[in-house]
């Protein structure tokens, strides 16, 4: 069968275990059944703290330009961002999100079908503003002590975009459930998370804009809307995760909620994400560079593999994405080849081979 589409995928391993798990994304794409009519070509790009140390830039301009000119999407591994200030360094993934206008970070959190928890939700995080605009300053108070300040920026445009993304995902998830492709039954629901009781201008604008967008005919009345103050959201997310469908939040709250939600399914090594814009998508596992296990061959590749499927989903290749999700679920449900973060003894390579075999 002749390929109906060739997708050009940029591979950006980054630092640490990113170099060990990004190859998993390439291999599952190459292992997809030919009947899907997809072909892939790959390019390799640099970014990360080690790139900064070598080249003086964590995100070289050449990486951005090559992604724009020669790729349909990309996979990003991990970054070893220092915890103390390093002059001239800033996170390359944050910069990529801004320079490629990837305004949404989409993070599904799902337990396997045999789990009792029944977790199946998506956290949709605004990706370009809030405190992540990284406009900070410090100065001396009259008494000589230091004061540091950071700008929190929320715009109506970005809030509207992310609310629409959350509504679209809620509708798509319902179509999947209606098709019988999910064992979990719920109605489409978007939970708007904010702290407008304290931050009435910034979070207040996010809340008002999200409600206005989700009240449009495209989403209402099919998609129900509720709100949660972020601190109670954390509590309820861990106590009652099955109550939630799609959670939409500003950048910082979404970052914290999505990393914490990984605990509901056992490991950050399982949780995928996609950085999504109107013209480009980057799949990105939620875990970090994990220097403590770098080079040991035991990094969990599942988050990267699921991120690869999520990238395909936002490129309109839902059938191919479903094949990958099914192969991963089968691996996890069988439970014979689990990496140490999941309580097993399997190597990274063994898990990759098993998922590819199932494809």
Task: Establish if 131 belongs to a structural domain.
Answer: no
Task: Establish if 312 belongs to a structural domain.
Answer: yes
Provide the β-strand partners of residue 332: none
Task: Establish if 321 belongs to a structural domain.
Answer: yes
Q: What is the pLDDT of residue 172?
A: 86
Nearest to 272 by CA among 344, 228, 321, 335: 321
Task: Establish if 20 belongs to a structural domain.
Answer: yes
Nearest to 187 by CA among 161, 220, 228: 220
Task: Establish if 37 belongs to a structural domain.
Answer: yes
What's the rounded Cα separation, in Å, for the pair 223 and 187? 8
Q: How many domains does the chain have?
A: 1
- For residues 108-147, one letter each, b for 16 or more C-beta atoms within 10 angstroms of the residue's C-beta and e for the rest, the string is bbbbbeeeeeebbbbbbbbbbbbbbbeeeeeeeeeeeeee
* Cβ atoms of residues 307 and 25 within 8 Å: yes
Q: For residue 161, give every residue at least 6 positions away whose Cβ sits within 8 Å of its Cβ, in sequence order, or none.
A: 103, 104, 126
The first and second tokens of residue 103, run together, are 């305004």
Task: Establish if 286 belongs to a structural domain.
Answer: yes
Task: Establish if 262 belongs to a structural domain.
Answer: no
What's the rounded Cα separation, in Å, for the pair 50 and 61? 16
Q: What is the pLDDT along the chain (359 residues), one digit of tens a residue?
A: 455 899 999 999 999 999 999 999 999 999 999 999 999 999 999 999 999 999 999 999 999 999 999 999 999 999 988 878 888 898 899 899 989 999 999 999 988 765 566 788 999 999 999 998 889 999 999 999 999 999 999 999 999 999 999 999 999 888 877 766 555 667 899 999 999 999 999 999 999 999 999 999 999 999 999 999 999 999 999 999 989 999 999 999 999 998 888 888 878 889 999 999 989 999 999 888 999 999 999 999 999 999 999 999 999 898 899 899 999 999 998 989 999 998 899 999 999 999 999 99
Q: What is the pLDDT of residue 116?
A: 60
Task: Establish if 343 belongs to a structural domain.
Answer: yes
For residue 54, give its domain range: 1-102+277-359
Instruction: Give the CATH number, domain containing residue 30.
Output: 3.40.718.10
Q: What is the pLDDT of residue 173?
A: 87
């Amino acid at each position: 069968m002749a390929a109906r589409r060739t997708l050009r995928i940029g591979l950006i391993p980054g630092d640490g275990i990113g170099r060990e798990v990004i190859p998993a994304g390439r291999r599952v794409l190459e292992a997809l059944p030919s009947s899907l009519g997809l072909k892939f070509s790959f390019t390799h790009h640099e970014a990360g703290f080690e790139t900064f140390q070598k080249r003086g830039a964590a995100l070289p301009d050449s990486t951005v330009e090559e992604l724009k000119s020669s790729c349909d999407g990309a996979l990003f591994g991990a970054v070893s961002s220092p915890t103390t200030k390093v002059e001239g360094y800033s996170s390359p993934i944050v910069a990529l999100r801004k320079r490629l206008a990837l305004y949404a970070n989409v993070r599904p959190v799902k337990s396997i079908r045999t789990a009792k928890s029944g977790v199946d939700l998506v956290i949709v995080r605004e990706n370009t503003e809030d405190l992540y605009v990284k406009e900070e300053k410090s100065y001396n108070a009259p008494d000589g002590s230091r004061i540091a300040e950071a700008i929190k920026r929320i715009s109506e445009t970005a809030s509207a975009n992310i609310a629409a993304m959350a509504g679209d995902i809620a509708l798509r998830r319902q179509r999947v459930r209606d098709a019988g492709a999910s064992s979990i039954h719920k109605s489409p629901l978007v939970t708007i998370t904010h702290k407008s009781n304290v931050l009435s201008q910034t979070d207040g604008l996010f809340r008002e804009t999200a409600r206005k967008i989700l009240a449009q005919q495209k989403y209402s009345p099919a998609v129900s809307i509720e709100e949660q103050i972020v601190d109670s959201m954390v509590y309820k997310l861990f106590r009652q995760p099955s109550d939630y469908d799609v959670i939409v939040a500003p950048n910082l709250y979404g970052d914290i909620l999505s990393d914490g939600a990984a605990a509901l399914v056992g490991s950050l090594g399982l949780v995928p994400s996609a950085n999504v814009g109107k013209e480009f998508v980057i799949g990105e596992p939620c875990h970090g560079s994990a220097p403590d296990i770098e080079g040991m061959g035991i990094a969990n590749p599942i988050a990267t593999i699921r991120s690869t499927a999520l990238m395909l989903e936002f490129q309109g290749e839902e059938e191919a994405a479903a094949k990958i999700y099914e192969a991963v679920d089968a691996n996890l449900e069988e439970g014979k080849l689990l990496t140490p973060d999941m309580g097993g003894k399997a190597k990274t390579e063994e898990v990759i081979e098993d998922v590819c075999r199932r494809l």
